[in-house]
Amino acid sequence: MTRQSFPAEATAGNVARLYDESAENRGDALALEMYGDEYSHAALRDRSARIAGGLRDVGLRLDDRIAIFLHNRPEVVLVALAAFRAGTPFVPMNPQFTPREIAGQVGDSGAAAVVTEPSLLDRVADALELVDGTPTIILVDEDRSDDLVDRRPDTVAFESLDGDPVLVEREDDDVAMQPYTSGTTGEPKGVLLTHRNVRAQSLIGFERTALPPEEERFLSVLPLAHIAGFINRTWQPLVRGGTVFLRDPTEWDPVTTMETIEAERITKFGAVTAMYVDIVNHDRFGEYDLSSLREVMEGGDRMPTAVQKRFEEVAGVELFEAYGLTETGGGTHVGFGSTFGPRPGTIGQPLRATDCKIVDEVGREVAPGETGELLVRGPHVTPGYHERPAETAEAFTEDGYFRTGDVARRDADNYYEVVDRKSDVIVTAGYTVYPREVEDVLHEHDAVVDAAVVGVPDERRTTTIEAYVVVEDDATVTEGELKAYCLEHVAPYKHPREIRFVERLPRTYNGKVRRVALREGAVSD
C-alpha cells in the first residue's frame, strides 16, 4: 500500500476561490482561447460571477442541479465556474446523447435547468417531455424558431444571465458537480464530487510539472463533458494560471491539431489513443514543429507500443500514460514526474495524496508483481453516488478504499500497470460503453429475441463494439437496419460497428452469457 500526505489548504470551502486566486495573480494573462474567442483570467472570473448572480435571478437555489448540454465551447467553463460560485452543482452531459439519454440524467439528477445551444435544442425539448417537472432551458446563442418558442416559452437567453456577482460559502463536503458514470450493470449513476474532491484533484498534479504558469499552454481536445476533459485538461491548467486552447472533439483533425501545436507553441497536450493513432498514421506527421511540447499524456485506453514509439521519435517528447476515474475526480496515476522516469506500459506512480493497494478476491493485499483489483483512496475520491446508498456501500471497502474494478499489478518501485477490466466494460476511442445499455436497445427491436455486446480489438480505436443478435425465425431485419435503430437511441460512439446474427448465444449453466466465448469468436453464425 502507498500512502501520501496532502496539505491542509486542500479543504477550504468553495473551490471557486481557488480560481479567484489565479485570476488575482494572472488577471490580464490569456486564460482561455477557442478559435479566436479569448478570455483573460480576470474576465473569466468576473463574467462567471455575474452568471452566478443570473442563475439566482432565474430561480436556481442552493444545491439545485444545472445540466450542461453543450459542445466544447467557452460557455461550458463559464457555467461550470458560475455553478461552483452559486452553489448549484452542475451535471455535464455528452452532446451526442439522444433524448432518451438526456432525459435519464436530467430526471435522475432532478436538474432545475439545462444549458444548451440551438443545434441541440430539439433533443433537449424532446427529452424534457419525458421527465417530471419543468426545468428551465438556458440557451446559448439564442436563435429559436417559432415552433420551439411555442413549445418552451420559458427559455432563457444565456446572454441575459448578468446579475450581481455571487460567491456563496460552501462546506468541503457540499457537492460541487455530478458527472455520470455506470457500474458493471450499465445503469448510469450520478457521481457526487464535493468541493473538497475538486479542489484536491485541482492540486495533486502540480508537483509533477516543471512548467511555471506563464509557460503552461495546454491544448484541450477532449470533451468537456468527460471528467478528464474538464478537470485534468481544462480546469487544472486554469487554476495554475496557465492558458487553455480549447477545441471541439467533434471537429477533430490531426493536421489542424499539429498546426495549432506549432502556431501556438503548445507545451502540454493530452488525448486518447485513437487521436494519437490518427496523428502518427497521417502522411503529414513530421512536417510540423512540435518541439514546444514538454508534457504529453494519454488516458482512456492502453497505448500500443508502436504508436507510442513513433510519436516519441518524431515529436521528440516522451508520451506518458495516465489513469483515473470519474469517481476519483480525474487522475490518480501519471507517468511523468515519477521517481525513476517513464516506464512504458505502466501508468506511473500514484499522484500526491492517493493511497493505493492491490488486493485479491478476499481483500488481502498482494505482493509486488501479483495481480488483483486496484483500490484507491484520497481527498479526491467521491463520497458516493447520488441517491444510491446500496451501490455506494458496495463500491467501498470497510477501510474506505474505492473499488476501481480494474485488475492491476505494481512493481517494487511502485509503478502500476492496468492489466485488464474486471467487468465487461468497453472502452472505445476513450469513451466508456456499457454492454447492457446497448443490449437493452437491441432487445427493444421487435425482431430481436436475444442480444449480447462485447468489445473486440480494433487497430484505430483499440477496441470497437460488436453485437451478437438472435432474431425471430421469420424476421427479415438487416444489419444496417439494426445499426440505424441503435443510432436512434444511443450516442454514435456506443453503436455496434458489426452485428453478427447467430442461432443462440453461448450461456453458462445459470443462464449468463459467456462473453469470453463471444470475444474469442467461439460461436456459430
Q: What is the mean pLDDT of each run of 10 residues along the chain (525 residues)?
A: 41 87 92 96 97 97 98 98 98 95 96 95 93 93 61 81 96 97 66 96 77 92 93 94 95 96 97 87 94 91 80 94 92 86 87 93 95 95 97 96 92 90 77 82 88 87 90 90 94 93 76 77 69
- The domains of the chain are located at 426-519
Which pLDDT does position 4 carry in this prediction?
A: 38
Query: How many other CB atoms are found less than 10 A from the CB of residue 207?
Result: 10
Crossing angle between the packed helical segments 16-25 and 195-203, to the nearest 10 degrees: 40
- CATH for 426-519? 3.30.300.30
CA-based torsion, 213, 216, 222, 228: positive or negative:
negative
Which pLDDT does position 440 carry in this prediction?
A: 83
Between CA 103 and CA 112, with CA 107 as vertex, the angle to 5 degrees is 105
Pairing of strands 217-220, 243-246: parallel
Q: Residue 433's closest CA among 25, 38, 94, 68?
A: 94
Q: Residue 77's closest CA among 106, 47, 112?
A: 47
Q: DSSP for 453-516, please give it.
A: EEEEEETTTEEEEEEEEEE-TT----HHHHHHHHHHHS-GGGS-SEEEE-S---B-TTS-B-HH
CA distance 298 to 308: 10
| 284: exposed, middle or buried (Cβ count in 10 Å: 0-12, 13-18, 19+) | exposed
* pTM attached to this predicted model: 0.85
CA distance 190 to 183: 11
